[in-house]
Structures are given as structure tokens and as C-alpha cells.
Amino acid sequence: KSEATIIGFNDKWIMLLGIPLLGSIMPFIFFSACRNAPISESYISITTSIINTFIFWQIDKKIIIYFRKKFPEHKDYIKRLTYQLVVLAITTYLLLIIIIWALGYLPHEPHVASPTHTEAIAGTYTITALVLAIYEAMYFFDLWKIEILENEKLKTENTKAQLEVLKNQVNPHFLFNSFNTLVAIIPDSPEIAVKFTTELSNFYRYILAFKDKELIPVQQELNSIDSYIYLLKIRFQDNLVIEKGEDFPSEMYMPPLSLQILVENAVKHNIVSKSKPLTISITYENNQICVANNYQPKQEAPSTQTGLKNIAKRYELITHESISITNTRHLFKVCLPLIHVKSL
């Protein structure tokens, strides 16, 4: 791995700015001789401080990288940090003693501002502490970014998994009802049975084509519902009236099979008979597709509303929008918001 990968960021600019800055201000913070001397007499101390800062920064960085490679797991953070602190403290002290010893052999003019040993130790340990703080802070910032990305990835995968479950709830109901109808009409009306099979094939082809899509154009959804309406009309004859409006927007999108679920929901939970025909309308209203029917519920156990919950959950997962449900004594109506793909 590269150094940038191990430490979690490219430290070039931090070093280019940090080394001269720290090296320049350290003498005036820790070295009393520099604070009390004219700037003209402090330039050698400042230059020496910048060089020392560069040396210690590089050594500290190598030690940090070594222990990052030795203890890469986050669970070993305390162990790694403990080793780093001990090794950095010892290395910093020994290296400082060597530098002070080496500088003692260089020509030294009395008027040049120089630190005491205590001041040099304090300043050097401050540099080491700051370097360690910078790299550890960036390490945790990098972990935080990774955690955010992983959480978003997990949410996305979870959403996709939930959508797959919701999509798979649709097919069994549809196929079961369709095959029952087909079995009933084959003996008496083979020609109609052939047409029925063709429309059933068309609709199932649509299901296969768009089963992996989260959204499809409104017009494609409307085309598919035509085949589904034909299948229902064969089953219920004149007892079922389905009215589909016009002027639906072509540039809008919606989750696939939404209309089929709503129409099936209306047929499933309402009386459909010669004395009480069921009328279903599909219309476009204020950027919504609405499916409404005259409300004549069957006398049966209360509905679990699986179909409506399915659609509501899909809208929540994909668009964070809500569907609208109106239920009065004589009318049941569900409106689905149409979606601009660019708005997602």
C-alpha cells in the first residue's frame, strides 16, 4: 500500500505548510532567547528550527506508518497508540540529544539566540505531539467517511432487498386468478382462450421486462394495464366497467405494476356482479394517476391491505413520497404521485 493509503490522506500540502510554519513560530513560543532577541539575531535559530521540524516530522511519520501497518485493525487502536506514544517519546528524546550534540561541534557565535536544553525538549515534544494529533485526527476522519459510505451502501442494498420482496408479492395473485379464468373458458370458448393466453403472455412479458426496474415511464405502465384490463373483462364480462382517461403525461415515471395492483385490489375487495357492477376509473389529476371505484365491499374478513401497503412502501423507499387514499361510503380512490426522474 502507498503511504497515502495507509495514513488515509495525501499529506503533501500539510507538510509544505506545516513544517515552515511550526519551525518559524516554535522558537518564539519556547525559546526565551529568541523572544528577547532582535529578529536579525534569531534567523539562525528559526532556520535550525525549520530543519529540525522537517527531520522530526519525517521520523514521526515513519513511526506512525509502521504501527499503522503492524496494527491495521480498528480494534487494536489503543494498543497501536500506546506503542506509538512510547516509541515516539523515546525516539524524539534520543534524536534531540544527537542533534544537540552535533550542533555543539558547529561554529557558534555568542550573539545568536539559542534555546536551553529544557526549551529544546519542550519545543520538540510539542512538534511530535502536533504531528501525531494531525495524523490521528485525519485517521479518524477517514474512518468516519468510510463508515458513512458503508452505511449508505447498506441502506441502498437493504432498500433493493425490500423492493425485491415487494415486487415478488405481485406475481402469485395475478397468475393464480388468470389461470383460474383460463381453465374456465377453454371448454366453451377456445378462440377467446387463445386471445386470453396471448394477452396473458403480453402482460407477463411486461412483468419480466420491468421486474428489475424501480421506475418506468407512465406510458409503458398504461400500455401494460390494457392487457390486464382485457384479462379482467373476460373474467367478469359486463359486471366490470373500466374507464381509462386520456392525456397522461409521457415524461413522468412511476413504479411498475402499480396500476395493476390497484385495479386488482378493487376487484378483490368489492362485489362484482350483474346487480352490482363495479366501475373502475383511471385518470390523471394534478401530477397524479388516480384509480377510483364505487365502494361496495364484500362481506368478508377485514382486508390486510397488502396491495396498498406494497405500493405505499415502494413509494416510500424509492421517492420518499406518500400515496393518497380516499375512502367514503360510496367511493374508494387511490392517487399515486408521478415522478420526474431528475427530481430524485
pLDDT in tens, the chain (344 residues): 677 777 777 888 888 998 999 888 887 777 765 666 666 666 777 888 888 889 999 999 999 999 988 888 878 888 989 999 999 999 988 988 888 787 666 555 554 556 677 878 888 898 899 999 999 898 888 888 888 887 777 676 656 655 555 555 555 666 777 777 788 788 878 888 888 888 888 887 887 787 778 889 999 999 888 888 888 888 888 999 999 988 888 889 998 888 988 998 898 889 999 999 999 999 999 899 999 999 999 876 566 667 788 788 878 877 778 899 999 999 999 999 998 876 55
CATH number listed for the domain at residues 169-343: 3.30.565
Q: What angle do CA 208, 228, 275 make, to 5 degrees?
A: 155
> Quick check: pTM over 0.75?
no
Which of 48, 54, 55, 60 lies closest to 15 in space, CA to CA? 54
- Other CB atoms within a 10 A radius of the CB of residue 139 amount to 19
How far apart (Å, rounded) are the C-alpha atoms in residues 298 and 319? 33
Region(s) of the chain under CATH 3.30.565:
169-343
- Other CB atoms within a 10 A radius of the CB of residue 296 amount to 16
Q: How far is CA 290 from CA 80, 144, 263, 284, in A?
A: 62, 44, 11, 6
Which residue matches cell numbers 411498475?
256
Which of 204, 215, 205, 202 lies closest to 174 in space, CA to CA? 204
Q: DSSP secondary-structure letter at 104?
A: T
Alpha helices in 218-291 (DSSP H): 218-236, 258-269
